[in-house]
Amino acid sequence: MTFSVKRFMAIFQKDLKDLYRNMYVSSTALMPLIFAVIYGRMDNVTIEMHLFVISMSLALVGTFLQCAMIAEEKEKNTLRGLMLSPATLTEILSGKSAVTILITVIVTGISMFIMDFSFSGRIGLMAGIVLSLIFFIALGTWMGLITRSVLEASVYILPVMFIFGMGNMFIMFAEQYAFLQILEYTPGLQLQEIVELEDAGAGFGELWKPFAIIGAWAAAMVVLAAVTFKKRMMD
């Protein structure tokens, strides 16, 4: 079956309207903006602060919006009908993901504008963010499929926010608590690694490792989300 732009746009427009009506879900997009305003008022805004806000946008907005939209469909018993409709797996997931991607990009862009951060000359960072966004969207899709309601999704998002969104903040305690060293392999810390290597003038020979780690996260989560989606269809 070929990809239908009409079905894709129908799913996209429906989810965009549902998100507009659900102020509880859409209001989560304000948190990265609040951090951006706070940090933006400081005299010396470090690159770590910028990356923290970017990670928060990806983890909280990207993952939670995707998770909440799917969980709300399940709560209203409309997801099963969508699964059994003529729309393909690709059309359903891409239509829903497009809404989340749009909001995440807007929130991240506004946050960086508030903090007066420019992506000029940071091609590696932008590529890393795009790759990380794929991971967070897939994570949100999977979480939405395993949760039963928006309220439950709100609980599930907490560990994601702390581990993936605030990993840049907690990594400083890794010397005291050895188990926190695992945070070094999260996408947020890998973005920081990319920035540090770019600033040092590193080439692809050194940049490939953080990209490979983020890519592995993204690939694993996309497969898990697709398998879970197909399993829910058969259930």
Top pLDDT among 207 and 106 is at 106
Tell whether the model's pLDDT for residue 100 goes beyond 60: yes
Express each pLDDT in 185-199 by its tens digit: 888 888 988 888 888
- DSSP, residue by residue, 146-195: H-SSHHHHHHHHHHHIIIIISHHHHGGGTTT-GGGGGGGGSHHHHHHHHH
Express each pLDDT in 167-187 by its tens digit: 777 666 666 766 667 778 888
At 24 the pLDDT is: 67
User: Token pair of 182, please?
Assistant: 């695992």
Nearest to 53 by CA among 71, 68, 38, 70: 38
Q: Are 169 and 189 in contact (CB under 8 A)?
A: no
At 130 the pLDDT is: 93
Percent of the chain with pLDDT over 70: 92
At 170 the pLDDT is: 67
The residue extents of the domains of the chain are: 5-234
At 153 the pLDDT is: 81
The total number of residues written for the chain in this structure: 235
Report the pLDDT averaged over residues 64-90.
78
